[in-house]
């Protein structure tokens, strides 16, 4: 019988492909499936990043997640989907000591040849380039390698969104070349600072190789506008990486208004619009749209079905609800 994680992964595989115009996955063949892994993606789009990497990773993942999302009601759900809290300085110095317990749990997971996802940048940001990464991933990897028998690998991952807020756009997920942690152990034993920095630099280089725009340069804005335009969405990753600022005429971005879908599903779209207007951190917008839609649209369809069934009978109710669902699928999955 499939596990809850497997069922959830299948569900997100379908819904994410409906939400995005196209999801391209590169380099998955070089991800080891027979050794413990630390997956280190960049972090540009709140919890949508974890959905994407977790869904398209070739191995099941445990997730290190910011501690403030663990509440009395969410903790059981988080545990069910393999999420563990990680504490940061902003959570208070007294809380940092609790990371030792989490790191010990991570060692046990690695010992079982299982895999963990950790966002190396430490927080989210909407920039396409790699921001400075913390030492957390390198520290976890080296401390764990000292305690386990198998060779731990770090797999850098790049999430390349053509638009951080809009649906019906393309995202490219790139799995980079694995980094062998044991190669840094001797350096770490001699000098923990040197060993940590060496591995941190290696992770940084690996992550940059998975991004279309790896660094923040003076012409970043012009390069971003050149690369991430709608007309470029069918270009392969290696071609996009070679583009230079102003290589092509920058066209204004056009977004589908999804008119028919909105007319037939007014309440879910209105609620999403109201919620997004109240959220100042736009990095959360796409994640919220996706997550609210997963819950709200089925509820809306059920309510409409019950009302129409009571007024006109089951056949008209089924026809109308099917039209609602079809309009959404056509708009977001096939009308691309």
Region class of 288: left (phi > 0), else alpha (psi between -120 and 50), else beta: alpha
Which of 245, 219, 207, 192 lies closest to 27 in space, CA to CA?
Answer: 207
Residue 87 has pLDDT above 80, yes or no: no
Q: Write the pLDDT tens digit of every residue in 213-268.
A: 999 999 999 999 999 988 899 899 999 999 988 775 444 455 555 778 888 999 99
**What is the CATH code for 4-208?**
3.40.1130.10
pTM for the whole thing?
0.84
- The residue that leads in pLDDT, 145 or 46, is 145
Which of 211, 200, 253 lies closest to 229 in space, CA to CA?
Answer: 253
Q: Write the pLDDT tens digit of every residue in 292-327.
A: 998 999 999 999 999 999 999 999 999 999 999 888
* Backbone angles phi and psi of 85, in degrees to 5: -80, 145
Which of 267, 174, 183, 166 lies closest to 213 in space, CA to CA?
Answer: 174
Q: Determine the Cα–Cα distance for residues 12 and 4; give it in Å rounded to an integer.
A: 12
Residue 331 has pLDDT above 90, yes or no: no
The predicted pLDDT at position 257 comes to: 56
The label of the residue with tokens 């940001």 reads 125
pLDDT band at 84 (very low <50, low <70, confident <90, very high): confident
Strand ranges, E, within 61-152 = 61-66, 83-86, 115-117
Ordered by start, the domain boundaries in the chain are 4-208, 259-334
Q: Write the pLDDT tens digit of every residue in 297-306.
A: 999 999 999 9
pLDDT band at 166 (very low <50, low <70, confident <90, very high): confident
The predicted pLDDT at position 335 comes to: 47
Q: Determine the Cα–Cα distance for residues 200 and 137; give it in Å rounded to an integer.
A: 8
- The residue that leads in pLDDT, 1 or 327, is 327
């Amino acid at each position: 019988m499939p596990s809850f994680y497997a069922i959830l992964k299948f569900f997100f595989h379908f819904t994410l492909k409906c939400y995005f115009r196209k999801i391209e996955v590169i380099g998955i063949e070089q991800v080891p499936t027979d050794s413990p892994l630390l997956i280190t993606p960049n972090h540009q789009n709140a919890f949508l990043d974890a959905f994407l990497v977790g869904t398209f990773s070739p191995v099941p993942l445990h997730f290190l997640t910011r501690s403030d999302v663990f509440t009395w009601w969410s903790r059981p759900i988080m545990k069910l989907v393999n999420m563990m809290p990680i504490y940061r300085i902003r959570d208070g110095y007294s809380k940092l000591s609790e990371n030792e317990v989490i790191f010990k749990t991570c060692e046990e997971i690695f010992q079982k040849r299982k895999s963990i996802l950790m966002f190396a940048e430490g927080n989210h940001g909407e920039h396409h380039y790699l921001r400075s990464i913390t030492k957390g991933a390198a520290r976890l990897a080296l401390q764990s390698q000292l305690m386990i028998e198998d060779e731990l690998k770090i797999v850098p991952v790049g999430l390349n969104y053509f638009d951080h807020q809009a649906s019906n756009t393309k995202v490219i997920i790139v799995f980079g070349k694995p980094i062998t942690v044991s190669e840094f152990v001797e350096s770490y034993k001699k000098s923990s600072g040197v060993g940590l920095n060496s591995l941190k630099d290696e992770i940084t280089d690996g992550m940059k190789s998975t991004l279309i725009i790896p660094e923040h340069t003076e012409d970043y804005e012009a390069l971003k506008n050149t690369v991430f335009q709608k007309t470029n969405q069918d270009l392969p990753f290696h071609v996009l990486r070679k583009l230079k600022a102003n290589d092509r005429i920058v066209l204004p971005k056009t977004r589908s208004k999804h008119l028919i879908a909105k007319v037939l599903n007014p309440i879910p779209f209105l609620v999403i619009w109201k919620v997004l207007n109240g959220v100042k951190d736009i990095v959360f917008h796409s994640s919220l749209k996706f997550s609210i839609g997963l819950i709200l649209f089925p509820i809306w369809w059920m309510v409409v079905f019950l009302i129409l069934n009571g007024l006109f009978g089951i056949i008209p109710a089924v026809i109308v609800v099917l039209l609602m669902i079809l309009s959404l699928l056509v708009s977001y999955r096939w009308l691309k």
